Structure 1
Amino acid sequence: MADKIRFDSVTKVFTVRDTEKGKGSKKEFTAVKDLNFSVKDGEFLTLVGPSGCGKSTLLDLLGGLTKPTTGRILLDGKEITGPGLDRGIVFQQYALFPWKTARGNVEFGLEAKGVSKKERNELTQYFLSLVGLEGFEDRFPHELSGGMKQRVAIARSLAFNPDVLLMDEPFAALDAQTRETLQSELLRIWDKTKKTIIFITHGIDEAVYLGQRVAVMSTNPGTVKYMVDIPLDSRLNEVDIRSHAEFVKARHHIWSLLHEKVYQAASI
């Protein structure tokens, strides 16, 4: 399977305030350093790591919202130089227009893209149905639950038909039951659409459940330290996949990798 995305020695440095030196002082902060990894076409990759390890910076770079200080990111062999409709982004915050219905929120971008009214209606209905919102098309955001709002946000991103779906902790603000439901829904959508998905999470269980591989990041500076293959092929068919021996083994392995520095520091 061909590479869809390639990070080639990517480093991102920001200029920030130097609080130790007083007013007006600046210093450089390296958010991510030497990112070197690839993502296959149609792969579901999850990223997990401690706060401040650069997960969101990595996603911003991939989305073209910011540019690498050094290195480059390739999408289908072409360097990413800015945002594009080939990448859809779903954030933790729903970012829906409160004055538009679920249908209107999904249609908005398609209208701006110049899609005909007939095709807009068909695409919107298809993707709202795909995310389980058939019958809720004419509800406004304040009439929807948090999980439903996030479904609208996912439908909106999918309607553009992006090659890659970027997801920045999209289920973090939801209750546990809704989160598990949407995790399963996302796997079903991924299985049907074959999109390449990169999904950021703080949750090890979520990373293992969703990802074919889990990228484990470390901090100071942020980098992808390990890539862990997850040998689970029947997530949607297993009644309680989280009790599966392979799931438990993978979860413990990733937990150990994330806590490796803690153990090392304690032994010094």
Structure 2
Amino acid sequence: MRKGGSADFAAIADISLEIRAGEFLAVVGPSGCGKSTLLDLLGGLTTPTTGRILVDGEPVSGPGLDRGVVFQQYALLPWRTAQANVEFGLEAKRVPRRERRERARDYLSLVGLDGFAGHYPHELSGGMRQRVAIARSLAFDPGVLLMDEPFGALDAQTRELLQEELLRIWQRTGKTVVFITHGIDEAVYLGERVAVLTARPGRIKEVVTVELPDRGGDADVRSSPEFARHRHAIWSLLRDEAVGGGPGAEVRPAPHAEGEVVHV
């Protein structure tokens, strides 16, 4: 995949990745390695120069209601209330008004915003706005939820609370989630697997399977030895890139044909 400008450059290259239905995949990598480009490709917001993206075996040719996207900067409509923002995607699907209202209230409740349906974005905190954005993406029932550093602009305490909330929502809905992040701790806490990208052009360096105690329990899994072990493994992979791995770094063989990103 190449991005235009005064001079073309390769943003990502030779990425082959299978994302299983219902899994939570986190993606980390050095700054500028093409993480957001990868998400744009999956969302149909960018067209690959080579290769293809498949969702349930069908090629992605543009944005679709089978994929919901949550960005870092909320992207809420300021003239709409929280409920009206959540209803926005349902209007595109021509869901009847009464059903839209019920579904919007259900999803606002799911993200912990009971009682805030009539509030406008400027009346909500940053964390609450992001909850509205998540509810909006979930309301039209996409099969895949694509999240581009959605908690990056939040303070540390709010970020951790929303990480816990997102895990609860994922476990309840069974959605497939692809989550872009700069944070190693965030990737380990959320992801069943963590895809580590190389420096630009981004390639899959390794996909790490994360096995932790019950993340939804009362214990703080971030303090567990398993968490520390996975964090160190991913930090070591990224450190290799930061100290000069770059395009010449070792890249492990991909499981599918060149340039193919598959969701099954």
Partner of 1:199: 179
Q: CA deviation at 1:37?
A: 1.1
Distance 1:131 1:187 in 2: 11
**Percent identical across equivalent pairs?**
64
Partner of 1:20: none
Give the 5 Å matches for 1:94-173. 94-173=74-153
Distance 1:64 1:261 in 2: 28
Distance 1:264 1:60 in 2: 27
SS of equivalent residue, structure 1 residue 66: coil
Give the 5 Å matches for 1:247-266. 247-263=227-243
Distance 2:72 2:138 in 1: 16
Structure exhibiting the larger radius of gyration computed from Cα positions: 1
1:41 equivalent in alignment to 2:21: yes
Q: Which has the higher contact order (CA 8 A, sep 6+)?
A: 2
Partners of 2:24 and 2:176 within 8 A in 1: yes
Q: CA deviation at 1:238?
A: 4.0
Partner of 2:4: 15
Partner of 2:40: 60
Q: Scaled by the length of structure 1, what TM-score is found?
A: 0.89
4+ aligned runs moved over 3 Å, structure 1: 261-265
In structure 2, the CA distance between the partners of 1:240 and 1:102, relative to structure 1 (3 Å rule), is same
Partners of 2:34 and 2:200 within 8 A in 1: no
Distance 1:166 1:49 in 2: 17
Partner of 1:5: none
Q: CA deviation at 1:257?
A: 0.4
Distance 1:186 1:112 in 2: 25
Note the residue ranges of structure 1 that are not aligned, 5 or more in a row.
1-11, 18-26
1:218 to 188, 195, 198: 198
Distance 1:56 1:156 in 2: 20
1:70 to 21, 40, 50: 50
SS of equivalent residue, structure 1 residue 96: coil
SS of equivalent residue, structure 1 residue 227: strand
1:235 equivalent in alignment to 2:215: yes
Paired positions, count: 245
Q: CA deviation at 1:29?
A: 0.5
Q: Summarize deviations over 1:17-74 as a string: whole Å, max 9, x none.
A: 1xxxxxxxxx320000000110100000000111100000000000001111111111
Partners of 2:110 and 2:169 within 8 A in 1: yes
Amino acid at match of 1:254: I
In structure 2, the CA distance between the partners of 1:262 and 1:144, relative to structure 1 (3 Å rule), is closer
Amino acid at match of 1:14: K
Aligned CA-pair RMSD? 1.1
Q: Which has the higher strand share?
A: 1
Q: Summarize deviations over 1:131-185 as a string: whole Å, max 9, x none.
A: 0000111111111000000000000000010000000000000010000000000
SS of equivalent residue, structure 1 residue 35: coil
Amino acid at match of 2:144: V
Q: CA deviation at 1:107?
A: 1.1
Amino acid at match of 1:157: S
Partner of 1:79: 59
Q: Scaled by the length of structure 2, what TM-score is found?
A: 0.90
Amino acid at match of 2:171: D
Distance 2:29 2:41 in 1: 17
Q: Summarize deviations over 1:220-259 as a string: whole Å, max 9, x none.
A: 3111111000001401114211011100000001000001
SS of equivalent residue, structure 2 residue 236: helix
Partner of 2:168: 188
